[in-house]
């Protein structure tokens, strides 16, 4: 809304006077619902199917009770879903897939989300730098020829904030904040924390990208995904794109 010339601070001020304390990003999200990722839809469909198998209503008592299937482990659930659903794909990290060679010494130990991100980025852009901004921020590099170099893992914004134990963990960084404002010294503890961890995260991403690209003599497109991708992207200095559905 701010980008369209509409500030919400005056609206929030009136709401606070009426006893309703609402954060700016909460109001903006309500006014402008975000895109629902395809992964979210398919996950919900699988969860509904699992609930159908795992719970039933007892015809005698009328209460909901667990079925024997509800005690299944992962392998049995996958087998059951494969019998009941047309296709169930279980993602795993492999030595090679879709033209990308896994850079890990033990390919199976690469986190599957990172592997999926590397594959998706390579299919879209060829060589790429895939950055997933979740609980942890993961940064993986794939060269134009399909060689996965490996990557880096640093704490995510919320994880860094929780480690400080200053009572600010539930005050998130507004994703609509301007990058310049987030890079200024904070004049309240909550701002000092938010600006500090933001500076740490974006500085690490910018430095890692520059170092690896200089070492390899390439300029790779950067693709960002994850819950904090939009706010992190505001401080990224290299050409990049935010891709919510990458993983």
43 burial (CB, 10 Å; 0-12 / 13-18 / 19+) is exposed
Distance CA 103, CA 214 (A): 19
Closest CA to 201 of 110, 135, 151, 125: 135
C-alpha distance from residue 135 to each of 5, 93, 155, 192, 228 (Å) = 32, 20, 7, 20, 9
Q: Does the annotation mark 113 as catalytic?
A: yes
Q: Could you tell me if 218 and 127 are in contact, meaning their C-beta atoms sit under 8 angstroms apart?
A: yes
Q: How many C-beta neighbours within 10 Å does residue 222 have?
A: 25
3-state secondary structure of 139: strand
C-alpha distance from residue 23 to each of 34, 76, 118, 151, 196 (Å) = 17, 44, 35, 35, 21
Distance CA 84, CA 89 (A): 13
> Among the options 48, 113, 180, 228, which is catalytic?
113
Q: Are strands 55-57 and 64-66 parallel, antiparallel or unpaired?
A: antiparallel
Q: φ, ψ for residue 134 (rounded to 5)?
A: -120, -140
3-state secondary structure of 194: helix
Residues serving a catalytic function are 113
């Amino acid at each position: 809304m701010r980008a369209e010339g509409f500030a919400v601070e005056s609206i929030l001020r009136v709401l606070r006077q009426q006893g309703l304390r609402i954060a700016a990003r909460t109001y903006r999200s309500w006014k402008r619902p975000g895109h629902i990722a395809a992964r979210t839809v398919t996950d919900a469909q699988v969860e509904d199917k699992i609930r159908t198998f795992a719970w039933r209503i007892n015809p005698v008592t009328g209460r909901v009770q667990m079925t024997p299937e509800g005690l299944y482990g992962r392998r049995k659930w996958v087998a059951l879903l494969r019998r009941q659903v047309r296709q169930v794909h279980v993602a795993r990290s492999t030595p090679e897939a879709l033209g990308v060679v896994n850079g890990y010494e033990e390919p199976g130990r690469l986190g599957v989300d990172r592997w999926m991100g590397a594959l998706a980025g390579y299919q879209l852009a060829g060589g790429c730098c895939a950055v997933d901004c979740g609980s942890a921020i993961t940064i993986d590099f794939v060269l134009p020829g399909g060689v996965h170099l490996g990557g880096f893992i640093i704490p995510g914004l919320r994880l860094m904030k929780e480690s400080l134990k200053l009572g600010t963990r539930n005050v998130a960084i507004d994703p609509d904040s301007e990058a310049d404002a987030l890079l200024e010294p904070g004049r309240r503890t909550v701002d000092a924390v938010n600006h500090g961890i933001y500076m740490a995260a974006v500085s690490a991403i910018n430095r890692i990208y520059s170092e690896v690209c200089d070492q390899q003599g390439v300029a790779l497109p950067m693709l960002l995904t994850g819950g904090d991708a939009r706010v992190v992207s505001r401080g990224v200095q290299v050409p990049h794109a935010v891709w919510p559905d990458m993983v």
